[in-house]
A and B are shown apart, each in its own frame.
Chain A
Amino acid sequence: MVSPELFFNALLTGMFLGGFYAAVSVGITIAFGMLDIVNIAHPAFIMLGAFIAYYLNSTFGIDPLLASLIAVVPAFLGGRLFYKIYYYAFERHGEESLQGLAFFFGILFIVEVGLLLVFGVDYRFVEANYIRKTIEFGYVALPLRLVIPMLAGLAIVAAIQIFTSRTFLGRAILAVSQDPGALRMVGGNPVRVKEIAFGLSIATAVVAGALLIIIQPVEPSLGREYIGRVFAICVLGGMTSLSGTVVASFIVGIAEALTTTFGGPAWAPAVAFGLLILTLIVRPEGIFGR
């Protein structure tokens, strides 16, 4: 018999994870869903963010959240540069499908092995005074190391939602996701818009990495687990929809937490991938797709 206490705690953990997953996946919703750039190296950039937070925290004692804010600007600029390379090497020739995939696959390994060579295979963690704190209500425990990433994750998605719906540039990003040709016709430059949007996507990855290292110790190859998660969430959420991404994040988070609690942690990695395959087979347009 399943105890309601256990079930409720698993549900809660799943919701915290879900909020964090929203931060992890929003970048892929932008890059893959809106810009049609199959950045399978996204999780590698998340790990890069985690290790930047670790480095700044362990050498200068900077809070990981603050560290991620410091890293946002170089990540945004790096992302723009990265898109420029991608554009000139592949997209311009219309060769992005096969070659682009192989390209990002290679980048994934370069970043992962690079981190491995610099930081080694040991698990690394950050120090902050809120990481070990837990707020308790009766038998419900709210560990701050999960609550803060959830809130931060939801804040990031909300900020991007406001950006894309209220500002001119944000609407241009939505326009390029719908019809780049039409954007060009009304005088916009789709390449520049995509460049900015891709920079934004990488910036969210780096912040998500800092959130990840708050939740758990990390090592370079951990990113691979997130490849399935981010794409599962993106596809499940209907590719381009930010609110869909949030809902799908919660679905995946809760499904994983319930599996960990009742099926054992060894089965958890298969949950997101299983959901992804199921979505692709049954409803490839996602739950919110048109």
Chain B
Amino acid sequence: MNATNPTAPILVTISGRRVRRYLIPATASVLIALLGFALLDWISFEYAYIATYTILQYVVLATAWNILGGYAGYVNFGVAGFFALGVYTSVFNYKTLQLPLPVVIIIAGFIAGVVGLGMGYLTLRLRGVFFSIATLAFAIVLNTVFNNWHFVGGARGVSVLRPDAPEFFGTYPRYLFGVMFALAIAAVLIARAVEYSWLGRGLASIRDDEVAAECSGIPALRLKLIAATISGGLIGMAGAPFPFFITYVDPASAFNLTIAVNTVAMPVIGGLTSWIGPVIGAILLGALQQITTVTISSALSLMLVGVLLVTFVALAPRGIIGVVKSLRGPAA
């Protein structure tokens, strides 16, 4: 562990290091976004939007999950629950206030973040295994609640009409694509910032040895709670645009198991300890799944994810990043 001052604020000065750390990736992301739009216009093909939206959604989910799961080593199996919180915040808003989407995304992030904090407060003091099981339980309890809450559709579901898209984007799918791209960039930047800050170093020490970390004066519970809040909030934010994406929401789609397994599999396959791992995992696995779903079947593509997950945890527990690193330098 580097001996860096843990109390140093993250963003005080814009030094050369800060430029490298924040401005360059931000500019790169904007360039990628523009490139993406140009590409999609050129393709002018609705399916391209659906595929890229889904992949971008996985970039957000995998990156968010990794903040607690990868950095701190606490496996959250309740991704579907946090995601559904965002989805149903959006549905509730659609039925009542009809606030614009960006506002809903922020509210959804707040609600899911608070729930993440609450869940963490109750279960993060236990062993990691119990946290995992409790998050699984949390998703099912929430599923049952939404199954019985008729105002937001209950078990039958509710259909959602897309409002008009803002002028700039033209069509609504393009708008959704833009929103999700912005979310993906935000999520990756947040994950990067967390990783390089005192928070990320603290979480890494918890992952390596929690008792030793506590003994060295790291407030383990507080750091885990911050991570759980950020992670849960980002997952909820990814869920908020979802009703407008599928236009018909029922608990089976909001609590989609594919989402739950993918979100765990992608960071594991990409590499858990760095922000780039989940991004690589989400893009590769997401694209692969889009291809197999279209060409073979969705069941088989889920099977593929399961097999890849098991293969990677067993044979390459450091993911694609770890494989690349060991190929580059055998000393590492």
Count how many chain B residues have C-beta atoms less than 8 Å from C-beta atoms of the other chain: 44
A7 in the interface, Cβ–Cβ < 8 Å?
no
Interface residues in A, total, Cβ within 8 A: 42
Least distance between B71 CB and chain A CB atoms (Å): 11
Does B98 have its Cβ within 8 Å of any Cβ on chain A? Answer: no
Collect the chain A residues with CB atoms within 8 Å of residue B207's CB. Answer: 98
Q: Is the CB of A105 within 8 A of B261?
A: yes
Interface hub of B73, B128, B138, B144 (most chain A Cβ within 10 A): B144
B141 & A273 in contact (Cβ 8 Å cutoff): yes
A220-249 residues with Cβ-Cβ distance < 8 A to B are: 221, 224-225, 227-228, 231-232, 235
Q: Which stretch from A131-139, A152-160, A277-285 is at the chain B interface?
A: A277-285
Contact of A117 among B300, B305, B307 (CB under 8 A): B300
Q: Which of A108, A228, A281 contacts B140 (CB 8 A)?
A: A228
Q: Which of A178-186, A203-211, A264-272 contacts B (4 or more CB under 8 A)?
A: A264-272
Closest to A104 in B: B310
User: Do B145 and A270 touch across chains, with their CB atoms under 8 A apart?
Assistant: yes
Interface residues of A (CB under 8 A from B): 38, 40, 85, 89-90, 95, 97-99, 101-103, 105-110, 113-114, 116-117, 221, 224-225, 227-228, 231-232, 235, 264, 266-267, 269-270, 273-274, 276-277, 280-281, 284
A-B contact pairs, 30 of them (CB 8 A): A38-B132, A40-B133, A89-B314, A90-B314, A98-B272, A102-B265, A102-B268, A103-B310, A105-B77, A105-B261, A105-B264, A105-B309, A106-B309, A106-B310, A107-B306, A110-B310, A116-B299, A221-B257, A228-B140, A232-B137, A235-B130, A267-B144, A269-B144, A270-B141, A273-B137, A277-B122, A280-B123, A280-B126, A280-B130, A280-B134
Using CB atoms and an 8 Å cutoff, list the residues of chain B in contact with chain A.
69, 73, 75, 77, 122-123, 126, 128-130, 132-134, 136-138, 140-141, 143-145, 147-148, 155, 207, 257, 261, 264-265, 268, 272, 299-300, 302-303, 305-307, 309-310, 313-315, 317
